Structures are given as structure tokens and as C-alpha cells.
Homo-oligomer: A and B are copies of this chain.
Amino acid sequence: MPPNRYATSLLLLSIVLLSWRICHGRKILIFPLEGSHWVNMDIVVKALHSRGHSVDVVRTDKSWYIKEDSPHYKTITVPVTEAFNPDFINPILKKVIDIERGESSVWSFASLQAEMFSAMFNVHRIMCKMATDMFEDKDLMKTLKDRKYDLVLTDPAWGAGILLAHALKLPLVYNVRWITSGEGHMAIAPSPLSYIPLTGSGLSDKMTFIQRVKNHLFSIIWLAQDVLLIRPQYQALCDQFFSSEVRYIDLLHGADLWLMRVDFVFEFPRPTMPNVVYMGGFQCKPAEPLPEHLEEFVQSSGEHGVIIMSLGTFVSQLPADISNEMAAAFAKLPQKVIWRHKGVRPATLGNNTLLVDWMPQKDLLGHPKIKLFVAHGGTNGVQEAIYHGVPVVGLPLFFDQYDNLLRLQERGAAKILTLATVDKDNIFLNAIQEVLHEPSYRRNMQRLSRLHRDQPMKPLDNALFWVEFVMRHKGAAHLRTESYKMPWYSYHSVDVMLFLLTTAVVALLFVAGLLWSCFRLGCKRKVKLD
């Protein structure tokens, strides 16, 4: 090869390697959240890895959900003294059911609220303890700095990942549904309370006057919880480890990109910001074939089809009377039923019902024999039901579950029941039969499915594009308003309004005074002339 051709080849090779480095091969630090949030994050982690990025995941040595090193990520383990206990949910569930059954007073409702608040406080306390352990571990922090990551990706429902990004001076991207002050949008986009229902309020985007009052009261509760209980914990960390001018709330608002785990087939239409990327349904995929025994069971349902039921990751056990009533209702149906169930086998279980510890929910939802999904209303399950067009009977328990199901019910694609009262008057059986036999439920859900699938890009591909965009350009400042740095009275133009009002009043008084003087002068002259 002549020297100049050799040089050209070398040049070409370096250009190829350079562009590969530009498009791929970045280093990403993930600070995830435990539980079902990690299930979501893991999907994004796998996708980032498959695009050639190297991914490190921060976890504690007492991690409940996040496994140590996997083929698609390495872990950075922080030794901690205290860990989050996922079993906090069962006593709360019992209280919820007692209240729904009317076996409780107003005081027990207040005590439930207090318990929920205290649980949230505790979760964030443990998270801040972990962050302290991490920031005080000089070797760990040096390792993290030396790794020269291109990006921190975190779930802002817990704030420690946000602080870590600030400590490492790295661009920040969220995989988000929740922040400490409620649903993710509330922090970043103007949210007129007249048509943006607060989560937990059980309201839709069309409210009566009383409902709008309720919505305002809910916003006060969220704000109080955030400002009094949660934010100060993270602010204390800022004060301890950063300069005194660093406000946690600014760090939270200042992320380059928000990958929002909803879309507008699911969520009510509302204002948004240019740095919000919607990836609702990013986890959804066409169904894969079922394991042989499940496929056989499903096929045995004949023309009647199959109902599946799951109440999610958290709830391991329902009260026996409720389980028995549900099993009895299922037993009366010609359909087959697959029920993700833990605990004592219901006494009334029919031959048509299969209890399972775990089920391939996505693949079942995509199976043509599945007629109905009995679900608790977690965001993931709802998005998967939309993707596959399967109507829902909803049994919401807590968190956002009622609100998620409400979004389906409002579009005529689901019917919501109160878990605690499903043992009365065949409510459960009737609801299932209604959703099975009234064709509008399936038709509406299939319409949502068509709308959801009709996008120019797959939601996950779009999200990955924008994550890589932030790495290519070292941030996305041009998509992010900095208006959150203004004092609240300037942001809401209270100062300008007061100024304009004062000016108008002074001007009016001046004119009035002038007119009065003229009038009096006129009178005097008149008197003189007279």
C-alpha cells in the first residue's frame, strides 16, 4: 500500500473510531430506586447497554431488588447501616381495607394519613442516610470521579441521585413518574389546578367547583408533605456537602431531561416543557409464546377465553374473606382464570382457576384468548393493558393506583371497584360480566391501543435518542427554562401586578383630584359670576 493511501486509511479508521465514540461507548452512572421503579429502570439500562454504552448502577449492600453485577451493568455497592423494608405496606393495606369497609372512624383515616406520611418520611430518611454514607466514603467518591461518566440517570422520587450528579458535575437525566411534591410535571410545567388533577385526589381533568376546591386542598397537602417533611432532609445534605448557596429544589428542577413514564393516551392532556420526553409504554413489546403448560391452560378455555388477575409487586396477601369471595366469583364464570396469588389457597377456588406465584404478564396480555385483566392499577400494568388493548376491572389499593385506573375508566375502557366491598352483593362478579359482555369496554381499549401504537418512533428509541443527545452535547440547556430560579413573587408576577395596580390607583386619584379641583374652581367662578 503506498504511504499516502496508508495515511488515508489510518485517517478513515480514526474518523470511524471517533464517530463510534461520539455515537456510542459512553459511560453512564445510574442511581435507581428500589421496587417496581427498578423494574422500569432495568429496561432502560438493558437498552443503553445494547447500544454500546457501559453502565454502572449504584446500590446498597442491603439492596432488596437490585442484583449484583449482571451481563448488562456493573454495580457500585455502598455499604449502609440501615435499609428500606418493603414490608411496611401490609399494615397500611389493612388500614385501607378497614376504612373502605366503614369499620373505622375519622380518626383512623387521620392515622392512616399520618402513617403514610411517616412511611414517606422514613423512606427519605434512609435514602439520605445512604447518601451520607456515600459522600463520606472518600475512596468511593474518588472512584466515581475518576470514572469520568458522561451522564447520571436517576429516578427523582428519591433525591440522592440528583445530589450525586451535582457532586460529580455531570449532566442529569430523569426516568420519572414521581417527585417528592407529587407527579413529575408539577415541578417543571405550569399546572393550573382548575384542570390538572393532583394525584391521590381521584379527580379527572373535568371538575365541578367542589372538586376543584378538593384539588386545591390536595395540592396543599402535597406541598406541606414536601416542604415540611422531605425537602429539608435533602437540603441538609446540600448544606453538609456542598456550598451553602446550593438549593436542593434548584438541583431537582435543573435536570437536563425528564423521561416521563406516561403518554397522552394514558395521561390527561396538560402543559409540558420542551425537556420532557414522553416514553409511556416504553416497556411494552409484542407478546412472546407462553410456557407450554400455560399455553395449554389458555387454549383449554375454548371460545370463552381467559381472565388474568394480578395485584402487583407489593401486595403479597389479601384478607381471606375477600380472596374467598373473588375465588367464588371466578368459579361461576365459563372463562378460565389465571391468578397471581400468594398466601393461603382460597377455600372456594373453582376448577377453572389457576393460582400462580408469578406470570408472564406481558405475554399473557398479548395473547388473543385473554378477555379481561383484573389489576391493581400500577402504571406498568395499565400501560401494558393499553398496549395490548385488554379491558380492565380495577382494584386500586393506594398510591397512584386509583388515579391510573380512573384514566382508563374515563375513556370507557375499565371499571373500578373498591377492594374492600367486592365481597358484597356479587359486585365483583357483576363487574367482570359487565366488562366481558358490554362490547364498548373492549372497543374503547382497542382504540386506546391503536392511538398508543401510532407513533413516529417507539417510545424507548425516542428516549434513548434524547439521552444520547444530552451526552453528545454535554447537556440540553436550550430545552430547559431557568425560570425556577426566580423568587416565587416574580415568577407569578405578584410584584408587577402590585406595581401596576398602585400606578393605576395613583393615576386615578390624580385625575380624580384634578377633576375635583376644576369642579370647585368652576363652582367658585359660578358663585362669583352670580
Contact = CB atoms under 8 A, between A and B. Distances in A.
A9 to B, nearest CB: 26
A150 interface: no
A481 B496 CA distance: 29
B465 A456 contact: yes
A270 B271 CA distance: 10
Contact of A493 (B194, B265, B268, B275): B194
Of A264, A482, A496, chain B has the most CB atoms within 10 Å of the CB of A496
A273 B275 contact: no
A493 B190 contact: no
Contacts of A500: 213, 216
15 contacts: A190-B192, A193-B496, A194-B491, A194-B492, A194-B496, A205-B483, A209-B496, A216-B500, A264-B478, A269-B275, A269-B480, A270-B481, A271-B273, A454-B469, A454-B472
A88 B302 CA distance: 76
A451 interface: yes
Interface string A268-281: 11111111000000
DSSP class of A's interface residues: helix, strand, loop or mixed?
Answer: loop
A137 interface: no
Given A192-B492, A269-B275, A213 B480 contact: no
A73 to B, nearest CB: 25
A249 B500 CA distance: 27
Contacts of A486: 194-195
A498 to B, nearest CB: 11
A212 interface: yes
A56 to B, nearest CB: 26
Contacts of A273: 269-272
A360 B311 CA distance: 64
A189 interface: yes
Given A194-B486, A454-B469, A216 B493 contact: yes
A519 interface: no
A173 to B, nearest CB: 16
Nearest to A213: B496
Interface string A197-240: 00000000110010011001000000000000000000000000
Interface string A439-475: 0000000000011001011000110011001001100
Nearest to A211: B496
Contact of A481 (B269, B274, B456, B479): B269
A482 B194 contact: no
A490 interface: yes
A272 B192 CA distance: 13
B269 A212 contact: no
A156 B119 CA distance: 52
Nearest to A483: B195
A82 interface: no
Contact of A269 (B190, B270, B479): B479
A499 interface: yes
Interface in A470-529: 472-473, 478-483, 486, 490-493, 495-496, 499-500
A265 B496 CA distance: 29
Contacts of A213: 496, 499-500
Nearest to A276: B272
Nearest to A481: B269
Contacts of A478: 264-265, 269, 451
Contacts of A206: 482
Contacts of A480: 269
A51 to B, nearest CB: 14
